[in-house]
Structure 1
C-alpha cells in the first residue's frame, strides 16, 4: 500500500509533504494533478489523475484516491493508490492488532502512556493499558474515541498538532487533557509518524506533568513577586558575579548613578566605584560567607563623575553571586558632620563654663580664707572655715567636670576621695584621723553630685570638730554602694557621740543643711549617735 500526505494552501501551494523537501518545494497541486483545484472543497474524497511531475516524485503511475479536510486556511490531504484504498482499513487493523505486531509488547510492558492516532480522523487507533488506567476509560472505550474527546483545545488546533506530527514538523506538545472523571491534567506529549501498510499514523508517548507545571507556575509567580519587590525597593539593589560583573540592578540603582539598565549590565563594579572603594571591595570579596551579610561604606561614581557616599549591606547569595543593598547616605553623613561640629563647639563651651564656675567659686573660697585670717574670734573663724569648705566642695565638682571628657556625669569615687582628703588637710587633721574609703565606681549628674558633696562635707566637718576635738585620734569610714534601688551612702566614725540637740545648741547649720539637701535628692536618711556617729543615706535612681 502506498500513501502520501500533502498540506497545501488555499491557493494550491504545497506547504509540506512526507517526502524529502527538495522534491516538492515550490510545487503546486496543479503541477501534480489534473483538475485538483476544481474538485477539492471543504472536505471529502475524490480520485485525482497524477501528472508526470507526481509520477517522477513517487514512481507511482496509478491515479490517487484523495481524502481531504480543510483546516482554517490550509488543506490536509491523504492520498492512496486507487487499488489499495478499499483494502486499507482491514489490512491496517489486521496488522495493528496482530499478536505479531512489534509495538504491542513494547506498549504493554512499559508503564508510560502510549497511543497511536489516525491523523486524518483523529481516531485513537491503539492505546496501551497505562493509557486506560490513567484516563479512566476501558481499552474498548478509548478505541472508540477521538483525540478531540480528550484534548480540551478546539478541534482545529488539535488536528493542526496531529497533522504536524504526521509530517514530522512537530514532535513535542503540551496540552490539557480531560480524564473520564472530569479532572484536567497537563500532558507532555512526544510524537512522531509511523507507517503501517504504508499508512501514516501518529505514535505518541504521554507524560502527566501537572505537578511540574504547577510547581513551575508557582516558581514563576514567586519570581515575579520577588522581581516586583526588588524593582520597586526604596534602596538600590545590585547583584554581581564572582568577577564583580553586574548581573542585575533595580530601578533605584539606575536612578542613583543615572545610568540605564543596559549600560549598567555591561559594567563591572570597578566602573561604578571610586578607586579606593574598588580596592577595598577586592579585599573583602574573597572573605564573604554565604548568608552572612557585612556592612560596608563605599563611594559610588555616577555617570557624571559625582561621588556618592553609600552604605552597602553585602551578602553572598551562593558560590557564584553576591548581592548588595545600597543606600545613599550623603545627606546622613552631612548631618552627622554638622552634629559632630556642633557637639565639639558645645564641648568647648561647656568646658569653658565649668572652668569659669570653678574659678569663681575658688575666688569666693579665697575671699573667705582671707576673712578667716583677718579675724581672731574663734566662732567667726569657724563659720568662715565651714563656709570655705562648702564652697570648695562645689568648686571641686566643676573642677572634675572641666578635666573630664564627660560634661554631665560626675565620678563619685574620685569626687568623694578628693573632697574627703582635702577637708582633712584643711583642718590639719590628717595625722590624727584615718580615712577608710570604700567607694564603688558610680556616676551621677551634677544635680546629684553637688548636694551629695555638701552632705559629705557637713558630716566630715562635724566629725572633725565634735567627734575628734583637740588632739583626739580616730577613724572615719565612708562606704558607697549601688543596688537595684539606687545609691546607698554609709558614713560612720568612732569619735565622741553627740546628738542633734547638741549641734543645734552649738549654732551649727550643718544638720539643717543635710536635711534640706536630703529632701532635694528625694532621699531617706538615718542618723544614730551610739558609739560615734552612724549615718546612712538612700538615694533613689
Structure 2
C-alpha cells in the first residue's frame, strides 16, 4: 500500500519532473521494496507477484497519465503562444492603419492649406486676405491634432499641453506675430482623445484669432490656464482688451457650436477685458 500511494502521488506530479530521472526513481523504489518483501516478509510468492504486478501497472499508468498531461500542457502553451502572436500582429496592423489614416487626413488638410496659400498670393484686397488666413488657421488647428496623434504611440490620446502650445506657435507663425505678452499655465499631464481635441483646438484657435484681431496686426496679449479638476478640464482664456469677444459674431457662433458638440459649459464676460471659461468632462 505505501508503494502504491507513492506511485500515485508521484504520477500526479510526473509532468513537473524529468521523465527519465522520475521513472528511474520510481522503478528503483519498487524494486527495492520487492527485495525487502522477498527477504523479510511473510508473504507468499503469489502475493509478492500480485503486488509486483499491481505496482508496475500503477507506475505505467501514472507514467502515461503524466505524459498525456505534459502533451496537453504543451498544446495549451502553443495555443496561448499562437493567440498572443496573432494578437500582436492584429495590434500592429491596427496601429499601422490608424497611423496611415491620421497621415492621410493630415496630408489632405495640408492640400487645403496649400490651396488657400495659392489663393492668398492672388489676393490684393486686405479683407479677403484676413478671412482666408482665418480659415487657414482653423484648418491648421485640425491638422495639428492629427499630427500629434500620429507622432505618439497612443493613437487615441493627445497631450493637451503640447497640443495647445503647438496651436499658439502656429498662430504666431501664420500671422507673423512678433510681439506677444502671453501667460500660459497648462497641466502637462492632461490627455484627451482625438474626438475632443479637434473641437477644443478649434475653440482655442478662435480665441487666439479674436485676441489677435483685438490687439492689432502682429500682436497677441492673453492669459491661458488649463487645469484638470477630478474628471473635468477647465480652460480659462482672458485678456485686457476694451472690446468684447461678442463683437465677433462668427467666432462666437462657432465656439457655441463646438461647445455643444463637446457637451461643455462656456461662460464669457467682459469687465476690463475678456474672460472666457470652458468646463469639459474628459471622455473615458
TM-score computed with the length of structure 1 as normaliser: 0.40
Of 225, 244, 253, which aligns to 1:479?
225
Describe the shift of the 1:474–1:516 C-alpha distance in structure 2 as closer, same or farther (beyond 3 A). Answer: closer
The answer for the alignment partner of 1:344 in structure 2 is 92
Please list every run of 5 or more consecutive structure 1 residues that lacks an aligned counterpart in the other structure: 1-226, 232-246, 268-301, 311-326
Of 257, 261, 278, which aligns to 1:516?
257
Contact conserved, 2:158 with 2:193, CA < 8 A, in 1?
yes
Describe the shift of the 1:517–1:303 C-alpha distance in structure 2 as closer, same or farther (beyond 3 A). Answer: same
* Pairing 1:533–2:271 present: no
| Residues 490-510 of structure 1: CA deviation (Å, up to 9, x unaligned) | 11112332251x223xxxx21
Secondary structure of 1:534's match?
Answer: strand
Q: Identify, as 1 or 2, the structure richer in helix.
A: 2
Q: Identify, as 1 or 2, the structure richer in strand.
A: 1
1:120-519 map, 5 Å: 248-250=10-12, 263=23, 266=26, 328-429=76-177, 431-440=178-187, 441-466=189-214, 468-470=215-217, 475-500=221-246, 502-504=247-249, 509-519=250-260
Cα distance between partner residues in 2 of 1:427 and 1:400: 22
CA RMSD of aligned residues (A): 3.2
Secondary structure of 1:513's match?
Answer: helix
TM-score computed with the length of structure 2 as normaliser: 0.74
Describe the shift of the 1:249–1:488 C-alpha distance in structure 2 as closer, same or farther (beyond 3 A). Answer: farther
The answer for the alignment partner of 1:21 in structure 2 is none
Secondary structure of 1:329's match?
Answer: helix
1:47-86 map, 5 Å: none
Question: Could you tell me how far 1:421 is from its partner in structure 2?
Answer: 1.4
Cα distance between partner residues in 2 of 1:348 and 1:485: 31
Question: Could you tell me how far 1:328 is from its partner in structure 2?
Answer: 4.4
**Larger Cα-atom Rg:** 1
Contact conserved, 1:474 with 1:494, CA < 8 A, in 2?
no
Question: Could you tell me how far 1:378 is from its partner in structure 2?
Answer: 2.2
Contact conserved, 1:365 with 1:388, CA < 8 A, in 2?
yes
Higher RCO structure, 1 or 2 (CA under 8 Å, sep 6+): 2
Cα distance between partner residues in 1 of 2:180 and 2:73: 63
Please list every run of 5 or more consecutive structure 2 residues that lacks an aligned counterpart in the other structure: 28-65
Question: Could you tell me how far 1:254 is from its partner in structure 2?
Answer: 5.6
Question: Could you tell me how far 1:307 is from its partner in structure 2?
Answer: 8.2
Secondary structure of 2:10's match?
Answer: strand
Secondary structure of 2:228's match?
Answer: strand
Paired residues in the alignment total 236
Cα distance between partner residues in 1 of 2:271 and 2:24: 86
Cα distance between partner residues in 2 of 1:526 and 1:264: 83
Describe the shift of the 1:458–1:309 C-alpha distance in structure 2 as closer, same or farther (beyond 3 A). Answer: farther
Contact conserved, 1:497 with 1:530, CA < 8 A, in 2?
no
Q: Which runs of 4+ in 1 moved over 3 A?
A: 253-257, 262-267, 306-310
